[in-house]
Amino acid sequence: MTLTTLGDRAQQFLTMRQNTRIRDALTTRATELSTGRVADVTAHLNGDTTALRDLDRRIALLVPQRAGAEATGRTLEAMQAHLGRVADEVSALGTTLVQGVLSANPAALAGAGAAGRDAFDAIVGTLGGRVAGQALFSGSAVDRSPLAPAAEMRADIRLAVAGSTDAAGIAAAVANWFDAPGGGFETVAYLGETGTTTTRRIGAGIDIDIAVRADDPALRAALRGAAMASLADDPTLALSDDERARLVTLARDATLGAQAPLVDLRARIGKSEERVERGVATMAAQATALAIARNGMDAADPFETAAALQEMQTRLETHYAVTARLSGLNLASYLR
């Protein structure tokens, strides 16, 4: 029979290795107990990590989808806010024009003209709003403003009505400038994209069409009423007070008539906002469910981990005790 013995140095290294192994196991169990996660997921799942990888993939796919949906929601929210300001301008202008028609004195008519000009400029500025550097009402051409500068537009409108001598002619010329195919609005004013609408995917099977642009008929109607009113105090037209009053009346009717289409336009945006909110909520619920399932696959059982930790602690203490006893055993001490 062969007897294998270890020298003192080898015995020391063996003891150190056992000590390190036990301490590493103790540290692993302590980490698992504090984090609630197993250290070796592959071993915990008996080598089959297919389901875990599938959950990780689905969670990773949800992250950009949810971010895109939330970005679309912010865009729609900003569009809604800007359209609200346009509606406020139109409403305020309508009130001023009603008062101007009732008063029908030169000062009131001049005030109506100034209010129309201010409202026109404010609406144009509002429709040029941006979110994250992208234009809101330019369609897919998000890199540029949807409308030409307000002063440039009003100058072209004045050229279009230059030959008119009465309120009816001026109103017709303004309407033609805004609404006629190939008219001033399409050739001078609108600078955005006129092609297909912008579509954004919100989760699986949910597409949102962002179809509101600055050339929408409702927004043209708002601008048309304001532009018409702004001409009431234009000195180049040389209108009589009666014709100016008629022009303010026509502008009033156009402005009041533009309010309902704006409400419909905002309702369209509101429906899209609702769909986006539902999509985001659905994705949030999916993410929560997937995270719960994912956490369950690598979760460490607290009772088993605590028991294993206690076992490792006992083994380490025993190892220390045995090492201490062995270190005191030598021939010289025994012979004494």
CA distances from 79 to 83, 89, 126, 197, 263 (A): 6, 15, 10, 15, 13
Whether 167 contacts 243, CB under 8 Å: yes
Whether 107 contacts 164, CB under 8 Å: no
Average pLDDT over residues 209-213: 83
Nearest to 213 by CA among 191, 245, 182: 191
Query: In the predicted model, is pLDDT for residue 32 greater than 60?
Result: no
Quick: pLDDT tens for 258-296: 999 999 999 999 998 998 888 888 888 888 888 777 776
Phi–psi pair at 208, nearest 5 degrees: -115, 125
Task: Give the Cα separation of 336 and 321 in Å (integer).
Answer: 23
Quick: pLDDT tens for 162-197: 888 899 999 999 999 999 999 999 999 999 988 766
pLDDT, position 234: 87
Whether 21 contacts 294, CB under 8 Å: no
Query: In the predicted model, is pLDDT for residue 14 greater than 70?
Result: no
Quick: pLDDT tens for 213-257: 999 999 999 999 999 999 998 888 888 889 999 999 999 999 999
Whether 179 contacts 219, CB under 8 Å: no
pLDDT, position 3: 47
Whether 150 contacts 124, CB under 8 Å: yes
- For residues 225 and 65, the model is more confident at 225
Average pLDDT over residues 11-21: 64
Query: In the predicted model, is pLDDT for residue 28 greater than 70?
Result: no
Query: In the predicted model, is pLDDT for residue 6 greater than 60?
Result: no
Q: Which residues contact 277 (CB under 8 A, 6 or more apart)?
A: 73
Task: Give the Cα separation of 294 and 317 in Å (integer).
Answer: 36
- For residues 76 and 208, the model is more confident at 76
Task: Give the Cα separation of 141 and 193 in Å (integer).
Answer: 5
Quick: pLDDT tens for 79-131: 999 999 999 999 999 999 999 888 878 888 889 999 999 999 999 999 999 99
Quick: pLDDT tens for 306-319: 666 666 667 666 65
Whether 244 contacts 109, CB under 8 Å: yes
- For residues 68 and 229, the model is more confident at 229
Query: In the predicted model, is pLDDT for residue 1 greater than 50?
Result: no
pLDDT, position 214: 94
- For residues 31 and 4, the model is more confident at 31
pLDDT, position 87: 96
Query: In the predicted model, is pLDDT for residue 332 greater than 70?
Result: no
Angle in degrees, 0-180, between the axes of helices 241-257 and 259-297, rounded to the nearest 10:
30
